[in-house]
């Protein structure tokens, strides 16, 4: 991003060196020699970024920051500080500065800090733009994904959306965005103007499911005072989305299969075959294939549903998507709560990116909602984030990437963990991923079953 930048420093040599350095990278850079001059310039033209020296004669950096924040809430401010005055820089960050930079002789630290701030600014612009039109929340072009896994998936979604008939199965942990993606497919396809009928298979009691799905004729059963159209009919010309399909009762599985095979059905108590035209999408956080082996899910129905399958990766294996999702949530809750929190301080960014999000995007949104309630500054700080995030920063994170060969990634905070901690975390995760089949886990780990048992026992004793 090419940006307008003000560099404010009373020392001419440093000021001109930074101005030169940034101008060479095609930014529009202006040097200013005092806090007063900066306030005047910001009043006339708020820039994208300000580099602001802490210690200046007359109006110091802190006072200048206090005055420019309300004048230019969108502008990011990086404080320039000398060794030994870092506490003041921290104070400045509490007042809304985005970051700070310790001045060194060669100024080589300037570029990465400026790049990071500008990248953040560019991301904020994109998210703001996407949110301007709430109706286009599901437009493919407005979905902000950075992780290679999600970019690949969205590319495939684009093709599938265009095919009005393709049946889609969405699999993934809770909160990974299965319903969201179903809506994206619906809204970007030829049936976008048709209805999107979402049904949670676990929310409707077993006895009522059939009448809800197929509808009924007057007098079909006691209490059926008049004809009622079922969900299948309501989805005509659009999409029927069956969530938690893995929990569908076996009798209903058989009935659904018949509709999918014949594309016709009868209302309860009816004699007429009705034909329906809809796209079916289903979602589950279970492994349906395994359920067919276990015998809890019909294999023939699985084959009908499993035409196009999307596996949504958990958020912990696509960390690149975390900050864009946080920004989106901040803007959304900011509007709701009437708060103007526009930035996330670097320490909070770090914590948000390191957390493992067992509840995925839904949990991320809850974390941001809570933080926005607690936050009274213009910048979201680490102090507004829940304790789990800070605690987890001190733990070992083991995350799994899906694929033909599932891969475990381990992160270790140097100085806080030992090799033994890593071993325990790794063993625990592999046992969990092997569905607690210890023979399989031992095989993955290259251990004998006996050696694995011995290690697990030792871990238990230490706990
Ligand atoms: N790519 C995305 N961009 C923005 N918001 C998203 C995205 N994906 C999901 N969300 C939001 O995250 C929340 C959870 O998504 P959703 O309900 O689709 O998850 P799910 O996988 O269907 O969950 P469950 O299995 O519990 O039903 C929703 O508020 C949704 O709007």
Query: For the domain bounded by 4-109, which CATH number is listed?
Result: 3.40.50.2300
Domain ranges of the chain: 4-109, 148-312, 315-392, 397-462
Over residues 341-352, the mean pLDDT reads: 89
CATH architecture entry for 148-312: 3-Layer(aba) Sandwich (3.40)
**CB of 174 closer than 6 angstroms to any ligand 1 atom:** yes
**CB of 284 closer than 6 angstroms to any ligand 1 atom:** no
- Of the two residues 269 and 31, the one the predictor is more confident about is 31
pLDDT surpassing 60 at residue 403: no
Alpha carbon of 317 to ligand 1 centroid (Å)? 16
Would the CATH topology of 4-109 be identical to that of 315-392?
Answer: no
- Looking at residue 134, what is its pLDDT? 46
**CB of 243 closer than 6 angstroms to any ligand 1 atom:** yes
Atom of ligand 1 at shortest distance to CA of 321? Answer: 1
* pLDDT band (50, 70, 90) for residue 155: very high
Alpha carbon of 150 to ligand 1 centroid (Å)? 14
**CB of 177 closer than 6 angstroms to any ligand 1 atom:** yes
pLDDT surpassing 70 at residue 31: yes
The fraction of the chain above a pLDDT of 90, given in percent, is 44
**CB of 25 closer than 6 angstroms to any ligand 1 atom:** no
- Looking at residue 444, what is its pLDDT? 87
* pLDDT band (50, 70, 90) for residue 84: low
* pLDDT band (50, 70, 90) for residue 126: confident
pLDDT surpassing 80 at residue 449: yes
Alpha carbon of 220 to ligand 1 centroid (Å)? 38
Over residues 8-33, the mean pLDDT reads: 93
Alpha carbon of 362 to ligand 1 centroid (Å)? 6
Atom of ligand 1 at shortest distance to CA of 183? Answer: 18
Range in 12-16, 60-64, 71-75 with the lowest mean pLDDT: 71-75
pLDDT surpassing 90 at residue 104: no
Mutate to test the pocket of ligand 1, among 169, 177, 243, 320 (most ligand atoms within 8 A of CB): 177
Over residues 119-145, the mean pLDDT reads: 75
pLDDT tens figures, 284-334: 999 999 999 999 999 999 999 999 999 999 998 898 999 999 999 998 898
CATH architecture entry for 315-392: Orthogonal Bundle (1.10)
**CB of 427 closer than 6 angstroms to any ligand 1 atom:** no
**CB of 324 closer than 6 angstroms to any ligand 1 atom:** no
Range in 27-36, 169-178, 237-246, 452-461 with the lowest mean pLDDT: 452-461
**CB of 313 closer than 6 angstroms to any ligand 1 atom:** no
**CB of 142 closer than 6 angstroms to any ligand 1 atom:** no
Kindly report the protein residue whose alpha carbon is nearest to atom 4 of ligand 1: 325
CATH topology of domain 397-462: Arc Repressor Mutant, subunit A (1.10.10)
pLDDT tens figures, 421-437: 778 878 887 887 787 88
Q: What pTM does this model have?
A: 0.66
- Looking at residue 131, what is its pLDDT? 56
- Looking at residue 151, what is its pLDDT? 93
**CB of 188 closer than 6 angstroms to any ligand 1 atom:** no
Atom of ligand 1 at shortest distance to CA of 145? Answer: 1
What is the average pLDDT score of the chain? Answer: 87
Range in 156-170, 260-274, 311-325 with the lowest mean pLDDT: 260-274
pLDDT tens figures, 183-239: 999 999 988 888 899 999 988 887 788 888 999 888 778 777 888 888 998 998 899
The fraction of the chain above a pLDDT of 70, given in percent, is 92
Alpha carbon of 178 to ligand 1 centroid (Å)? 6
Three-state helix/strand/coil letters over the chain: CCCEEEEECCCHHHHHHHHHHHHCCCCEEEEECCHHHHHHHHHHCCCCEEEEECCCCCCCHHHHHHHHHHHCCCCEEEEEECCCCHHHHHHHHHCCCCEEEECCCCCCCHHHHHHHHHHHHHHHHHHHHHHHCHHHCCCHHHCCCCCHHHHHHHHHHHHHHHCCCCCEEEEECCCCCHHHHHHHHHHCCCCCCCCEEEEECCCCCHHHHHHHHHEECCCCCCCCCCCEECHHHHCCCCEEEEECHHHCCHHHHHHHHHHHHHCEECCECCCCCEECCCEEEEEECCCHHHHHHHCCCCHHHHHHHCCEEEEECCHHHCHHHHHHHHHHHHHHHHHHHCCCCCEECHHHHHHHHHCCCCCHHHHHHHHHHHHHHHCCCCEECHHHCCHHHHHHCCCCEEEEECCCCCEEEEECCCCCCCHHHHHHHHHHHHHHHCCCCHHHHHHHHCCCHHHHHHHHHHHHHHC
pLDDT surpassing 80 at residue 408: no
């Amino acid at each position: 991003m090419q940006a307008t930048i003000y560099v404010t420093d009373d020392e001419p040599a440093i000021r001109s060196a930074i101005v030169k350095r940034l101008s060479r990278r095609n930014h529009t850079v202006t040097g200013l020699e005092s806090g007063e001059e900066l306030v005047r310039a910001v009043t006339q033209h708020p820039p994208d970024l300000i580099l602001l020296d802490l210690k200046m004669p007359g109006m110091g950096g802190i006072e200048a920051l206090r005055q420019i924040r309300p004048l230019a809430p969108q502008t990011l401010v990086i404080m320039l500080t000398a060794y030994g005055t870092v506490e003041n820089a921290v104070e400045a960050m509490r007042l809304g500065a985005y970051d700070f930079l310790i001045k060194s002789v060669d100024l080589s630290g300037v570029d990465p800090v400026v790049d990071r701030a500008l990248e953040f600014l560019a991301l904020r612009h994109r998210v703001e733009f996407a949110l301007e039109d709430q109706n286009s929340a599901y437009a493919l072009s407005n979905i902000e994904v950075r992780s290679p896994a999600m970019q690949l998936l969205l590319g495939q979604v684009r093709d599938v959306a265009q095919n009005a008939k393709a049946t889609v199965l969405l699999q993934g942990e809770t909160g990974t965005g299965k319903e969201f993606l179903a809506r994206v497919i619906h809204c970007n396809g030829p049936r976008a103007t048709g209805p999107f009928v979402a049904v949670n298979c676990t929310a409707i009691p077993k006895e009522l499911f059939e009448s809800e799905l197929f509808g009924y004729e007057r007098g079909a059963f006691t209490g059926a005072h008049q004809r009622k159209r079922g969900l299948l009919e309501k989805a005509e010309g659009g999409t029927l989305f069956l969530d938690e399909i893995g929990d569908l009762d076996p009798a209903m599985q058989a009935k659904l299969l018949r509709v999918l095979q014949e594309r016709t059905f009868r209302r309860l108590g009816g004699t007429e075959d009705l034909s329906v035209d809809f796209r079916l999408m289903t979602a589950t956080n279970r492994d349906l294939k395994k359920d067919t082996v276990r015998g809890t899910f019909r294999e023939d129905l699985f084959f009908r549903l499993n035409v196009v399958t999307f596996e949504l990766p958990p958020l912990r294996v696509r960390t690149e998507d975390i900050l864009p999702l946080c920004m989106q949530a901040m803007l959304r809750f900011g509007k709701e709560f009437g708060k103007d929190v526009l930035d996330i301080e670097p320490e909070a960014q770090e914590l948000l990116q390191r957390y493992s999000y067992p509840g995925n995007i839904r949990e991320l949104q809850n974390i941001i909602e809570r933080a926005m309630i607690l936050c009274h500054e213009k910048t979201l700080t680490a102090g507004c984030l829940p304790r789990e995030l800070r605690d987890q920063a001190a733990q070992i994170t083991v995350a799994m990437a899906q694929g033909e060969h599932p891969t475990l990634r381990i992160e270790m905070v140097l100085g806080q963990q030992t090799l033994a901690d890593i071993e325990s975390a790794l063993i625990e995760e592999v046992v969990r991923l092997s569905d607690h089949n210890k023979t399989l886990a031992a095989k993955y780990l290259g251990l004998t079953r006996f050696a694995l048992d011995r290690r697990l026992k030792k871990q238990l004793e230490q706990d």
